[in-house]
Amino acid sequence: MKDNSVYKRSHNACLDLIRSHATGALLGSEPSLAQFLEVSRTTVRTILSSLAAAGILHVEGREKRVLRHPYDDEYFPVTETESSAELVERKFMELILKGDLKPGSMINTLELARQFAVSTSAIREYLSGFNRFGLIAKRPNSSWVFQGFTRAFALELSDIRELFELKSIEVFAERVGTEQGRRKLKELKTAHIDLLDRVETDYHNFSALDESFHRAINDASQNRFIREFYDVISLIFHYHFQWNKIDERERNEVAIHEHLAIMEALEVGDIRQARKAAAHHLESARKTLLRSIRDA
């Protein structure tokens, strides 16, 4: 059966929304709330009923009036807002990156299902999707094999990344000629300069900025395979650096400067220099990834 994590997550988001309203204010229509919360009207209506029952909203006809702000204990705990699939992803990545799973070892779906407290179907489905990350392989009618977060993996991943991103940056460079492209570049550059000012304290925010910078470049390629591949990169970096915090501040500061070098070259239309700066940055990224890998 399906759990109601979608409802619980949206319920929490809706409580946040209510807190941003004054008591007595009115919420928008059901369709507008549905769009805001990114769920169906059915879910919105379920939430509205429960909020009305809790005395947080007065709901009658089109009127959805805020009666009071919610208490903290009226939020659902975060653990309940996670869908089965999300839980599996999180736990599985932890398993890999904490090194509990040794390269070459078999993955037992039944065992994982027990360990994660989900059904084997959930595990099975996750693994078949995770397959594209190149870290596991399947033998028919038998189990999955974890191939290891190895040096070889990091090299192969980096090779493709460089191939794709150097191609993408060419297209991105052309885009800078357009009004939209120039605006995007300016926006990214400003964000970088801002972060650089507060780098001493906010260096951990770089992760999100890094993602949007590279995502912008890769998206310019207009190629679904390149964009999809960046999902792989993104997931690997996201989880990997949650478990490897060494030198985080220095690494991030260096990366910000490298990003800025790329953007400055793009700004003045020096494509040769942009290529060079991008290649240099990707080379650093490769080294960073390799350095954090245990096996030799």
User: Cβ contacts of residue 278 below 8 Å, gap of 6+?
Assistant: 165, 166, 169, 262
57 and 48 Cβ atoms separated by less than 8 Å: yes
x/- letters, 201..240, toward DNA (CB under 7 A) = ----------------------------------------
- The yes or no reply on residue 191 touching DNA (CB under 7 A) is no
Stretch that binds a second copy, among 12-20, 51-59, 106-114, 159-167 (CB under 8 A): 159-167
Return the residue of 24, 77, 129, 177 that touches a second copy, per CB under 8 A: 129
- The yes or no reply on residue 222 touching a second copy (CB under 8 A) is yes
Name which of residues 26 to 65 contact a second copy (CB under 8 A): 38-40
- The yes or no reply on residue 119 touching a second copy (CB under 8 A) is no
Q: What Cα–Cα distance (Å) separates residue 5 from each residue in 14, 43, 82, 90?
A: 14, 11, 6, 16
Return the residue of 139, 224, 272, 294 that touches DNA, per CB under 7 A: 139
- The yes or no reply on residue 45 touching DNA (CB under 7 A) is yes
Residues constituting the chain:
296
- The yes or no reply on residue 41 touching DNA (CB under 7 A) is yes
Q: Which of 161, 162, 159, 167 is nearest to 271 (CA)?
A: 167
- The yes or no reply on residue 91 touching DNA (CB under 7 A) is no
- On the 0-12 / 13-18 / 19+ scale of CB atoms within 10 A, 1 is exposed
- The yes or no reply on residue 128 touching a second copy (CB under 8 A) is yes
- The yes or no reply on residue 120 touching DNA (CB under 7 A) is yes
197 and 246 Cβ atoms separated by less than 8 Å: no
Q: What Cα–Cα distance (Å) separates residue 15 from each residue in 31, 68, 147?
A: 17, 11, 44
Maximum pairwise Cα distance, the chain: 67
Q: Which is nearer to DNA, 58 or 167 (CB)?
A: 58
- The yes or no reply on residue 55 touching DNA (CB under 7 A) is no
- The yes or no reply on residue 5 touching DNA (CB under 7 A) is yes
202 and 195 Cβ atoms separated by less than 8 Å: yes
- Residues 294 and 216: their CA atoms lie apart, in Å, by 31
66 and 27 Cβ atoms separated by less than 8 Å: yes
143 makes contact, choosing from DNA, a second copy, none, with CB < 5 to 8 Å by partner type, with: DNA
In angstroms, what is the minimal distance from the CB of 102 to a second copy? Answer: 19
- The yes or no reply on residue 103 touching a second copy (CB under 8 A) is no
Return the residue of 75, 76, 95, 108 that touches DNA, per CB under 7 A: 108
- The yes or no reply on residue 2 touching DNA (CB under 7 A) is yes
- Residues 248 and 237: their CA atoms lie apart, in Å, by 13
Alpha helices in the chain (DSSP H): 5-19, 30-37, 41-53, 84-97, 109-116, 120-130, 151-175, 179-197, 199-202, 206-220, 224-240, 248-267, 271-291
Interface residue list for DNA (CB under 7 A): 1-8, 28-32, 39-43, 45-46, 61-62, 64, 83-85, 107-111, 118-122, 124, 138-144
Interface residue list for a second copy (CB under 8 A): 6, 38-40, 121, 124-125, 128-129, 131-132, 134, 140-141, 153, 156-157, 159-160, 163-164, 167, 222-226, 228-229
